[in-house]
Structure 1
Amino acid sequence: MKEEDNTNHQLLYAADETPPHGLSLFLGFQAIALIISGIALTPVVVLRIAGADAVQNSWVIFAAFIISGLTTCLQARPIGRWGSGYPLFMGTSGAFIAVGAAAVESGGLALLATLAATSALVQLALAARLSWFRNVITPSVGGVIVMLIVVTVFPVCTGLLTKVPAGSEGMPAALTAGVTFVAIVGIAIFGSKRWRLWGPLIGVVAGTLTAIPFGLFDTSGIKAAAWIGFPQVGWPGMDLSFDSRFWALFPAFAIVTVVGAIETFGDAVSMQRCGHRGSRPIDFRSVQGALRADGVGNLLSGLFGTLPNTTYSTSVSLVEFTGVAARRVALYGGGILLILAFFPKVSALLQAIPNPVVGAYLIILLAILFSAGGIRLVANGGLSAENGLIVGISFWMGTAFQSKAIFPALMPEWMHTLMDNGMTAGGLTALVLSWLFSLRRGRSNVLKIGKGSGVVGSVHEFLEERALAQGWDEDATRRLQLVGEESVMFLLDGNNETDKALSLSLRFEESKAILEFAYGATAANLEAAIGELAEKSAGTGQNAALRILNSLAASVEHHHFNDGDFLAVSVESRGI
Structure 2
Amino acid sequence: MTSSPTPLICSNCSSPRSARTSCATSWTRWRCSGADGRRNGMTAQAVRYTPDEACSPLLAAAVGLQGVALVLAPTILIVAISVRAADQGDEYLNWAVLCALLINAVITALHATRAPRLGSGHIVITGPTVQFVAITIVALSEGGPATLASLLVVCAFVQFAVAQWLPVLRRIITPVVSGTVLMLVAVTLVRFGTDRLTELPDGAPAVAGPAVGALTLVVAVAFVLRGSGPWRQWSTMISIAAGCALTAALGQYEIQRVLDAPWLGFPEAQFPGLDLTPGPEFWALLPTFVVLTLVLCTKAISDSMIIQRASQREPRAVDFRYVQGTVSTNGLGMLLAGVTGTPPVQPYASFSTSLISFTGVASRRVGYAIALIFIVAAIFPKVGALLLTIPSPVMGAYLILALGIIFVGGAQTAFQGGLDQQKTLTIGLSLALGLGLDNHDVIPHVLGDELGAVFGSGVLYGALSAILLSLILEYTGGRPRRLDATMDVAALAAIDEFMRDLASGLGWNEPSTERLRSVGEETVSSLAGWNDDSADGAGRLTIIARPQVGMVELEFVASSEQENLEDQLAYLSEDAELPDIDEMSLRLLRSRASSVRHQQYYGIDIVTVLVEGSS
TM range (shorter): 0.7 to 0.9
2:115 aligns to what SS in structure 1?
coil
Contact 1:496 1:523 in 2 (8 A): no
Distance 1:434 1:479, change over 3 A: same
Deviation at 1:515, TM superposition (A): 0.8
Contact 1:267 1:316 in 2 (8 A): no
1:552 aligns with 2:592: yes
Distance 1:468 1:560 in 2: 31
Contact 1:203 1:361 in 2 (8 A): no
Deviation at 1:424, TM superposition (A): 4.5
Q: Equivalent of 1:4, from 28, 35, 40? A: 35
Distance 1:392 1:451, change over 3 A: closer
Could you tell me which amino acid in structure 1 is paired with residue 370 of structure 2?
G
Aligned to 1:514: 553
Moved more, 66-75 or 242-251: 242-251
> Equivalent residues in 2 for 1:38-117 (5 A)?
38-47=74-83, 53=89, 56-107=92-143, 109-117=145-153
Could you tell me which amino acid in structure 2 is paired with residue 522 of structure 1?
E
Distance 1:276 1:360, change over 3 A: closer
2:114 aligns to what SS in structure 1?
coil
Contact 2:55 2:363 in 1 (8 A): yes
| Structure 2 length-normalised TM | 0.75
Distance 1:18 1:367 in 2: 28
1:466 aligns with 2:505: no
Distance 1:369 1:60 in 2: 31
2:127 aligns to what SS in structure 1?
strand
Aligned to 1:296: 332
Q: Can you list the C-alpha shifts for 1:48-85, whole angstroms capped at 9, x where unaligned?
A: 66665566443333222211111222122233331122
Deviation at 1:487, TM superposition (A): 1.4
Aligned to 1:329: 366
Moved more, 521-530 or 289-298: 521-530
Distance 1:362 1:545, change over 3 A: closer
Deviation at 1:137, TM superposition (A): 1.4
Q: Can you list the C-alpha shifts for 1:477-517, whole angstroms capped at 9, x where unaligned?
A: 22111111221233445599995421111123333321111
How many residue pairs were aligned?
566
> Equivalent residues in 2 for 1:6-45 (5 A)?
6=37, 10-45=46-81
| Structure 1 length-normalised TM | 0.80
Aligned to 1:567: 607
| Residue identity (%) | 31
Distance 1:317 1:370, change over 3 A: closer
Distance 1:552 1:48 in 2: 62
Could you tell me which amino acid in structure 2 is paired with residue 530 of structure 1?
L
Distance 1:282 1:390, change over 3 A: closer
Aligned to 1:341: 378
Distance 2:536 2:490 in 1: 21
Q: Can you list the C-alpha shifts for 1:430-488, whole angstroms capped at 9, x where unaligned?
A: 43332222213473121222457653233223223333433433222221111112212
Aligned to 1:505: 544
Contact 1:294 1:310 in 2 (8 A): yes
2:118 aligns to what SS in structure 1?
coil
Could you tell me which amino acid in structure 1 is paired with residue 55 of structure 2?
P
Could you tell me which amino acid in structure 1 is paired with residue 509 of structure 2?
D
Distance 1:189 1:19 in 2: 24
Distance 1:424 1:278 in 2: 33
Distance 1:322 1:353 in 2: 19
Deviation at 1:113, TM superposition (A): 3.7
Moved more, 524-533 or 552-561: 524-533
1:130 aligns to what SS in structure 2?
coil
Distance 1:234 1:212 in 2: 39
Distance 2:126 2:497 in 1: 51
Q: Can you list the C-alpha shifts for 1:125-182, whole angstroms capped at 9, x where unaligned?
A: 11112111111113443455566668888999999999999xx5xx659667545654
Gaps of 5+ in 1: none
Could you tell me which amino acid in structure 2 is paired with residue 85 of structure 1?
G
Moved more, 141-150 or 127-136: 141-150
Distance 1:240 1:368 in 2: 44
Moved more, 379-388 or 541-550: 379-388
2:596 aligns to what SS in structure 1?
strand
1:324 aligns to what SS in structure 2?
coil
Aligned to 2:173: 137
Could you tell me which amino acid in structure 2 is paired with residue 511 of structure 1?
G
Distance 1:148 1:112 in 2: 28
Distance 1:261 1:207, change over 3 A: farther
2:265 aligns to what SS in structure 1?
coil
Contact 2:216 2:239 in 1 (8 A): yes
Q: Can you list the C-alpha shifts for 1:327-348, whole angstroms capped at 9, x where unaligned?
A: 2232222112112210123445
Q: Can you list the C-alpha shifts for 1:275-315, whole angstroms capped at 9, x where unaligned?
A: 45666543322322222222212221222222222333333
Contact 2:145 2:341 in 1 (8 A): yes
> Equivalent residues in 2 for 1:405-444 (5 A)?
405=442, 423-441=459-477, 443-444=479-480
Distance 2:372 2:346 in 1: 17
Aligned to 1:124: 160
Could you tell me which amino acid in structure 2 is paired with residue 520 of structure 1?
S
Deviation at 1:556, TM superposition (A): 1.7
Q: Equivalent of 2:352, from 298, 304, 315? A: 315
Deviation at 1:564, TM superposition (A): 0.9
Could you tell me which amino acid in structure 1 is paired with residue 322 of structure 2?
S
Contact 2:64 2:366 in 1 (8 A): yes
> Equivalent residues in 2 for 1:46-445 (5 A)?
46-47=82-83, 53=89, 56-107=92-143, 109-145=145-181, 178=210, 181-183=213-215, 192-193=224-225, 194=232, 197-198=236-237, 201=240, 205=244, 219=256, 223-231=259-267, 234-237=270-273, 242-273=278-309, 275=311, 280-313=316-349, 314-348=351-385, 364=400, 368=404, 371=407, 378-379=414-415, 383-394=419-430, 399-400=436-437, 403=440, 405=442, 423-441=459-477, 443-445=479-481
Deviation at 1:379, TM superposition (A): 4.3
Q: Can you list the C-alpha shifts for 1:165-223, whole angstroms capped at 9, x where unaligned?
A: 9xx5xx6596675456545555566664558745985698479759976xx9694x755
Deviation at 1:570, TM superposition (A): 1.4
Moved more, 191-200 or 81-90: 191-200
Gaps of 5+ in 2: 1-32, 39-43, 226-231
Distance 1:297 1:203, change over 3 A: farther
2:167 aligns to what SS in structure 1?
helix
Could you tell me which amino acid in structure 1 is paired with residue 506 of structure 2?
Q
